[in-house]
Amino acid sequence: MNRRIRIHAQLVAMSLILALTPLLQVGYAQAAELPYSDETRYGFNHFDSVLWAKEQGLFSGYSDGTFRGNIEIQRQELAKVLVLASGLEESDVAECADGATKHFSDVSEDWATDYVYCAQAKGWVNGDDGTDTFRPTDPVWLSEGFKMVVEARYGTPDDSYQGEYWYDRYVNFLSDQFDHVQNPSPRYC
């Protein structure tokens, strides 16, 4: 069964913690001040991850002071988070984007343009198969999020991870990576 699940912003923050820094011990919740006015309203379960992502400059929240962790993250927003999580400085994003083919017909000049094209230049996104579209404001599906995170952190997994669906390569790879974190062997230590 091919189920498509949309990703919420707080899930992305948690995923980034796990995928980009799998052994990081985050422990902010007890002493930290709430950085967003709506955190207690939604009862965030991933406060540490959200706070860490804010401190790293990955999330800035909305101009009204909210995080809106219960809404779906857009494809262009995830591109921004991954570009910044890669360690690229904000001042270098436009130069990175210059290396892209910039062929997406639906990516207009706005706040996200350079992030989307930087992610494309790095090979993390390639748009919709057989078309020239990226759908920047569409919500990220879980399978798409896995692909983007894996491509950004590890590159393209080898063919041994392939399966029946295009996303199996990424799901199987992440499953293997987290299995090794939970059950380390000498090969991975």
The reply to whether 1 falls in a domain is no
The reply to whether 78 falls in a domain is yes
Model pLDDT, residue 61:
82
Model pLDDT, residue 7:
61
Any idea how long the chain is?
A: 189
Domain containing 45 equals 9-174
Please, are residues 96 and 83 in contact by the beta-carbon 8 Å criterion? yes
The reply to whether 115 falls in a domain is yes
Model pLDDT, residue 46:
65
Residues in the chain, pLDDT under 70: 1-34, 39-46, 179-189
Cα separation, 155 vs 103, in Å, equals 22
The total domain count for the chain is: 1
The reply to whether 58 falls in a domain is yes
pLDDT digits (tens, 9 = 90+) for 6-36: 666 555 655 655 555 443 444 444 445 667 7
The reply to whether 55 falls in a domain is yes
The reply to whether 149 falls in a domain is yes
The reply to whether the predicted model has a pTM over 0.85 is no
Model pLDDT, residue 56:
81
